[in-house]
Amino acid sequence: MKFSKFNFLFLGLFLSLVTLTSCNKDDIKPGSSVTVTNTFQSTAFTNDAELAIEDLFSVPAGSLAATATVSDAVEFPAYLLNLYDIDIAENSISFKVVAQEGDETYGDLFRELEAGTTDRYYLTFDEKQKIDGFTSSNPAVKLRIDSDRVVVVEIGEGYDFKPNQSFTITLD
């Protein structure tokens, strides 16, 4: 079989396109369904046990979980009884405290989180994601990658829990 210059040019362009496409990495797939749940662990408040937030609020198990579809909008506005707006994008996860000073539920809890306290937000996706690493805009916030479907935002010691506080986790 004889190849012309056109065939080689076409083959070169095709291979370049395949290579560039395979290098394009979406960490979180738009359109994926994601469920957020919350736990709290504290040496002072929970005797160092990790408890579902429903246990702390004395409400039915799972009643504060929420499910949304990853899109351009904020996926979880006013999540957890008007505490956080949680926005999930292809390459980031952002939280913003929307509860205000004097809030009936959270007003007395605003403070810098003490040693031995971890507030965890489990993000469980309906399909596999490609999250390999992260950087956080706040040193008190980490991302734990449990599997290709579950990541956990961990807010810990030194986090300045107050109105309008925000952070972004950028996915690598």
Neighbours of 102 (CB within 10 A): 10
Give the max Cα distance, the chain: 79
- Predicted pLDDT at 103: 97
pTM for this entry: 0.86
Report the C-alpha gap between 42 and 47 in whole angstroms: 6
Instruction: Report the range of poorest mean pLDDT among 22-26, 93-97, 150-154.
Output: 22-26
Q: How confident is the model at residue 24 (pLDDT cuts 50, 70, 90)?
A: very low
Q: Regarding beta strands 141-145 and 66-69, do their DSSP bridges make them parallel or antiparallel, or are they unpaired?
A: unpaired
Residue 6 has pLDDT above 80, yes or no: no
Residue at token pair 């506005």: 77
